[in-house]
Structure 1
Amino acid sequence: MKNISELEPTIVTIFGGDGDLTWRKLMPALFNLHIDGFLPEKFKILSVDMKDIAQEEYNKRHLEGVNKFSRRGKATKKKWKEFEKCITYVQADITNDKSYNNLKNIFNETDKEWDVEASRIFYMAVSPYLIKEIAGHLDNTGIAENSQKHRIVVEKPFGHDLESARELNKVLQGIFSECQIYRIDHYLGKETVQNIMAFRFANALFEPLWNRNFIEQIQINVSEQVGVENRASYYEQAGAVRDMIQNHILQLICLVGMEPPVDLNANSVRDKKLEVLNAIRRFSENDVYVNAVRGQYDKGWIEGQEVKAYRDEDNVDNESLSETFAAVRFYIDNWRWQGVPIYVRTGKRLQEKTSYITIQFKEVPHKIFPSGVRELVDQNLMVISIQPQMGIRIHFEAKKTGLDMRLKPVDMIFNYSDSYKNDPPDAYETLLNDVILGEATLFMRSDQIEEAWSIIMPILDVWASNPPQKFPNYQSGSWGPPEAEALIAHDGFYWHTFTEPLDNSSRLTTK
């Protein structure tokens, strides 16, 4: 960690500075970076929005956001007073060059005050359709032209399909160097997701087994109990595949499937991820019918509360065809993973909120223990739990205490909360810190974005041309439609669902 006096003076400009993302995520994350000493000594936040808000009112609202959403809870008066001195609210029409010239004056005055050219970060916390316009105005006014010091951060969704993603890349790369563009995926900032690389490549124990010779199947489960909440207008256009699989889940597949990079340089790591995306099998139309399942939630019960069907949610078409659930069987066609199925499942209004990766190892080649001495016939599993618990569990067989030879499944557990006493940073803290440092490893490169879209476009195209006939097709509070069970059962497997807490007093149970 650099001393704050060694960090470059930085100005973070947030377009959409009074929006929900800034209130819930960005301002709490920046405040925590301030508390932990990760922000430069010379640091300023320009919150740009069209609303007419007094500075005092703006600061008060975002203190409320910090108090509500920060992992630390309520801010102390002293720390907030220090932090709010960095915040300047700027009322602006972001469709007008005049507003950007005003920003340019603020940048120049600040550089003069600090006696140094500050790094400039432009965060697009706005609707996707505004990104091209903002980029154009930044170009027109020349306030983001230094490729070494000026960076832009673009939130997902990055495009709506492959064609629009290519078009957005073309626009941005016509204005900025690729090294200036930080395409953010908050999932990559999660501690357990980052730990996958450390787990695989810092230990001699696991990597020799990490291939088709020892691994039988891989499952990735990202389930949510909530419905669409206040995101219906977005979700109606997106659906589960665009919202989760195209970005978050494909990135998890990259981390699990990638070859060891030569070093931790951003492009070294991203090159290896790109190799995985290139190797993922593309689907023909017939392949989509065999390998992909979609669903939409009906009314049901979640933790004792009755909840609506998706079509009954506010701002949702009562005949909506948007999928709120998707399950897909992928294959990576390369030497390491040929023939190993990767099952992914994601959806809303499912039984639990949880994210985990399950690695199922093959059975031993010769069974010397008869079935009668085994309490349960379980294969070895490795479970990487991302949320709400964070840790890694290895599930294996051991001898049960006693005079006779009887086997019982046991678990070896690494739990973040047991091993580390300090709270892990929020994903946005990690990613914003990396942007400030100019570290791009956890951000998507243009070729990665386009390859990810090319993988899922056959699914989206087939589904668009063949409307579902049975929506809604799963009850809220379930694990999704029965077709998802059939998808994996066809190969002789079943979805692993883990209901035990991640501690050493429990044993992993699957069903």
Structure 2
Amino acid sequence: MSNEKIALFTIFGGTGDLAQRKLYPSLFKLYQKGYLKDHFAVIGTARRPWTDDHYHEVISDSLADLNADQETVTQFASHFYYQSHDVTDAEHYRTLKKLSEKLDAQYGLQGNRIFYLAMAPNFFGTIAQHLRSENILTDNGFNRVIIEKPFGHDYESAKELNDQLTATFNENQIYRIDHYLGKEMIQNITAIRFGNNIWESLWNNRYIDNVQITLSEKLGVEERAVYYDNSGALRDMVQNHILQILSLLTMDQPVEFTENDIDVEKVKALRSLRPLKPEEVATNFVRGQYGAGDDAKAYRDEDKISSDSNTDTFVAGKVMIDNYRWSGVPFYIRTGKRLADKFTRIDVVFKRPVVNIFNHEDVRANDDAATSLDPNILTINVEPTEGFELRMNAKAIGQGFATTPVKLNYSHDAEATAGSPEAYERLLHDALNGDATNFTHWQEVADSWKFVDVIQKYWDEHQPEFPNYRPGTMGPDAADELLRQDGHRWVYRN
């Protein structure tokens, strides 16, 4: 049975960086694997007056790093068509409709439509409105819209945007991309928890002491300066990526492994987040902004950044979850730019044994032996290494009976990882299949914004002391103090 998917992609923002860096290479990989073959076409739209031939050259250039043979690239690019398009002009949508219907007949697309809005969110509502008013949606196939973040900059703007989209599309037709949900090891969280009784039976406040989520970036704002200065780390990383990871770590087992059942449990987890009172923000969340380093400019000296900007480039926080499973367990989160290295990891720290029978003079190997056992720690390495690490206690080699921590490691094989789908490839394939399991649903977005808005509002009303950390570190000292006041410390320390 063929795995070929049939659809017309219309990419609004087809000349942009996202399309060239992520979408075209991902579609090409689907083409190489046979998921896209004869019955697909792509319309790229943007303001630039490109021709189809120039568009094909751009697509070919975007695939240069894939080392594909030119004949295959040429065949792939022949399915792409370009239309110069003003998203506010209704007449341009009529031209788009004619081209869509022509390609539908030419490639046998059965009325299947995927609209990818790779543009600024302020155009989402306008595009959706014109797709409806100009009758570009079809009756005989599926209609799906994929949108990028940011989905609003607070709850109210997100709700307004959602209302605009749902005036044209049903919720089950809207695919909100969070590329972290397409990462191999993020998807593995569900398999680890619900596929192994050893972990799920311990996955609660009786056995877990704290959980740490770190999304660390080594680079600064780079070409995203204008966007980032209007967003900051809290909105850019915590509201979406980190809270999505948190929901997967904390949700209860779904009835079945289906989109609807998983969404139900994720929403329940997000609704269990303990809301912060304004006066609690300062003791539970830390913000930072990087200064100058040996080889790095201070954030305020970056191009297109105001010299008095108070935008946060680092966030650390303590999140509590008020339900039976997680009551009393702190979830520590942190993310930032210009940190020690680029990596994403999750550290699940288990409680120490209640009694340490080895803490006795007769069984100690020497006077310097530890008086308490190290905690067991399960680490999920998301990137750049993909795999698991379990830290446990064992007897140290030699006379006596001193204990020492040892690590059990598993990393995905490099060859297997090389052939694994990249996040966008995986998510585009899901959208073609009509599977929104690894996309963000509206209620998840709404609950995340409601939690984050309290923090952002408090920060907007209080002047920070920036800059407060050097590039190449793991953020301001206050991030370490956040854990120290609870008797904890970060598992990963620079």
TMscore range, shorter length: over 0.9
Conservation of the 8 A alpha-carbon contact between 1:219 and 1:359: yes
Query: Given the alignment, which residue of 121, 126, 130 partners 1:133?
Result: 126
| CA spacing shift, 1:59–1:112, aligned 2, 3 Å | closer
Distance apart, 1:482 and its partner CA: 1.1
> Aligned partner of 1:332: which letter?
I
Q: What corresponds to 1:482 in structure 2?
A: 477
Conservation of the 8 A alpha-carbon contact between 1:4 and 1:40: no
Conservation of the 8 A alpha-carbon contact between 2:111 and 2:139: no
Q: What corresponds to 1:507 in structure 2?
A: none
SS of the equivalent of 1:475 reads coil
- Is structure 2 residue 308 aligned with structure 1 residue 319? yes
Q: What corresponds to 1:51 in structure 2?
A: 48
Give unmatched runs, 5+ long, in structure 1: 498-509
Q: What corresponds to 1:357 in structure 2?
A: 346
Q: What corresponds to 2:157 in structure 1?
A: 164
SS of the equivalent of 2:470 reads strand
- Is structure 2 residue 397 aligned with structure 1 residue 401? yes
Query: Given the alignment, which residue of 483, 488, 491 partners 1:493?
Result: 488
Q: What corresponds to 1:367 in structure 2?
A: 356
Q: What corresponds to 1:152 in structure 2?
A: 145
Distance apart, 1:107 and its partner CA: 2.0
Distance apart, 1:146 and its partner CA: 4.3
CA distance in 2, matches of 1:390, 1:171: 39
CA distance in 2, matches of 1:29, 1:428: 6
Query: Given the alignment, which residue of 109, 128, 132 partners 2:102?
Result: 109
Deviations 1:74-96 (A, max 9, x none): 22212212211111111122211
Query: Given the alignment, which residue of 428, 444, 447 partners 1:432?
Result: 428
TM normalised by structure 2 equals 0.95
Distance apart, 1:264 and its partner CA: 1.7
CA distance in 1, matches of 2:377, 2:335: 20
Q: What corresponds to 2:20 in structure 1?
A: 23
- Is structure 2 residue 2 aligned with structure 1 residue 3? yes
Give unmatched runs, 5+ long, in structure 2: none
Distance apart, 1:318 and its partner CA: 0.4
| CA spacing shift, 1:147–1:492, aligned 2, 3 Å | farther
Distance apart, 1:58 and its partner CA: 2.0
- What does residue range 198-217 of structure 1 map to in structure 2 within 5 Å? 198-217=191-210
Q: What corresponds to 1:505 in structure 2?
A: none
Deviations 1:197-229 (A, max 9, x none): 011111122100000000000000001011000
- Is structure 2 residue 70 aligned with structure 1 residue 77? yes
CA distance in 1, matches of 2:251, 2:108: 45
> Aligned partner of 1:346: which letter?
T
SS of the equivalent of 1:231 reads helix
Distance apart, 1:232 and its partner CA: 0.9
| CA spacing shift, 1:56–1:460, aligned 2, 3 Å | same
Q: What corresponds to 2:467 in structure 1?
A: 472
CA distance in 2, matches of 1:452, 1:148: 33
Q: What corresponds to 2:320 in structure 1?
A: 331
> Aligned partner of 1:437: which letter?
N
| CA spacing shift, 1:161–1:147, aligned 2, 3 Å | farther
- What does residue range 82-101 of structure 1 map to in structure 2 within 5 Å? 82-101=75-94
Q: What corresponds to 2:178 in structure 1?
A: 185
Distance apart, 1:403 and its partner CA: 5.1
Conservation of the 8 A alpha-carbon contact between 2:112 and 2:138: no
SS of the equivalent of 2:221 reads coil
Q: What corresponds to 1:445 in structure 2?
A: 441
Residue identity (%): 38
Conservation of the 8 A alpha-carbon contact between 2:39 and 2:109: no
Distance apart, 1:55 and its partner CA: 2.2
Q: What corresponds to 1:504 in structure 2?
A: none
SS of the equivalent of 1:457 reads helix
Distance apart, 1:319 and its partner CA: 0.2
Distance apart, 1:422 and its partner CA: 4.8
SS of the equivalent of 2:45 reads strand
Q: What corresponds to 1:242 in structure 2?
A: 235
CA distance in 1, matches of 2:141, 2:381: 37
> Aligned partner of 1:285: which letter?
P
Conservation of the 8 A alpha-carbon contact between 2:211 and 2:331: yes
Instruction: Between 98-107 and 424-433, report the one with greater CA deviation.
Output: 98-107
SS of the equivalent of 2:205 reads coil
Distance apart, 1:145 and its partner CA: 5.4
> Aligned partner of 1:360: which letter?
V
Which aligned runs of 4 or more in structure 1 are off by greater than 4 angstroms? 145-148, 373-377
Deviations 1:101-143 (A, max 9, x none): 1121122222333455231000000011111111111111121
| CA spacing shift, 1:116–1:329, aligned 2, 3 Å | closer
